[in-house]
């Protein structure tokens, strides 16, 4: 079975059949620094999670055997835990030390990226997709009181250092 991708090529939207997996999105934890009203990613406290070593074995296999175009660290917040942030950067280093061409990105609320600035500079992802809910009033209504004031300096820093790979969703 082929994946069907749709996308604009010079304003034209042709269907392109692909014979291999193109995008892999992973949720590596159930930790988040927020309690957003709209979040649908909830698991139970007794659920078992993969260890970082197990994840790295999976990612190695992904890079060697499957070779997707994109690996996305999505859902919850990878930067909410030092261990999962380390997994993210270890995965980028693993990819960089191999011949894999898989792009690695992250979807983040960006409220904690200030804790990982050095690692982001040293091991930059191919894209950073910041999930936001509008300007300050709307953002704070969804993400919590004064949350936008935490986001703003991080967005400015991300834009300064990663404007070519920064998305705001």
Note the helical H segments in 33-103. Answer: 52-61, 82-96
- CA dist 159 and 154 (Å) reads 8
Residue 16 CB neighbour total at 10 angstroms: 12
Quick one: pLDDT at residue 2? Answer: 43
Among residues 84, 94, 90, the alpha carbon closest in space to that of 60 is found at 94
Regions in the chain scoring below 70 on pLDDT: 1-19, 35-47
Two tokens, residue 38: 């709209």
**CA angle, corner 160, sides to 158 and 163, nearest 5?**
70
- CA dist 88 and 92 (Å) reads 6
* Displacement of CA 126 from its chain's centroid (Å): 10
- CA dist 165 and 136 (Å) reads 23
Quick one: pLDDT at residue 132? Answer: 87
Quick one: pLDDT at residue 165? Answer: 95
Quick one: pLDDT at residue 37? Answer: 66
Give pLDDT tens digits for 116-137: 999 999 999 999 999 888 899 9
Residue 6: CB partners within 8 Å, gap ≥ 6? Answer: 13, 15, 16
Quick one: pLDDT at residue 21? Answer: 78
């Amino acid at each position: 079975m082929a994946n069907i991708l749709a996308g604009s090529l010079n304003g034209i939207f042709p269907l392109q059949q692909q014979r291999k997996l193109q995008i892999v999105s992973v949720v590596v934890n159930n930790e988040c620094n927020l309690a957003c009203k709209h979040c649908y990613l909830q698991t139970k406290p007794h659920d078992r999670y993969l260890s970082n070593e197990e994840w790295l074995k999976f990612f190695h296999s992904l890079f060697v055997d499957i070779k997707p175009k994109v690996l996305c660290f999505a859902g919850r917040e990878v930067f909410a835990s030092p261990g999962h942030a380390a997994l993210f950067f270890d995965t980028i280093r693993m990819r960089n030390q191999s011949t894999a061409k898989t792009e690695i990105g992250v979807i983040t609320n960006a409220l904690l990226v200030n804790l990982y600035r050095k690692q982001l500079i040293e091991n930059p992802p191919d894209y950073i997709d910041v999930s936001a809910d509008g300007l300050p009033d709307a953002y704070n209504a969804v993400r919590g009181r004064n949350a936008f004031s935490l986001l703003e300096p991080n967005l400015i820093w991300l834009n300064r250092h990663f404007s070519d790979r920064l998305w705001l969703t």
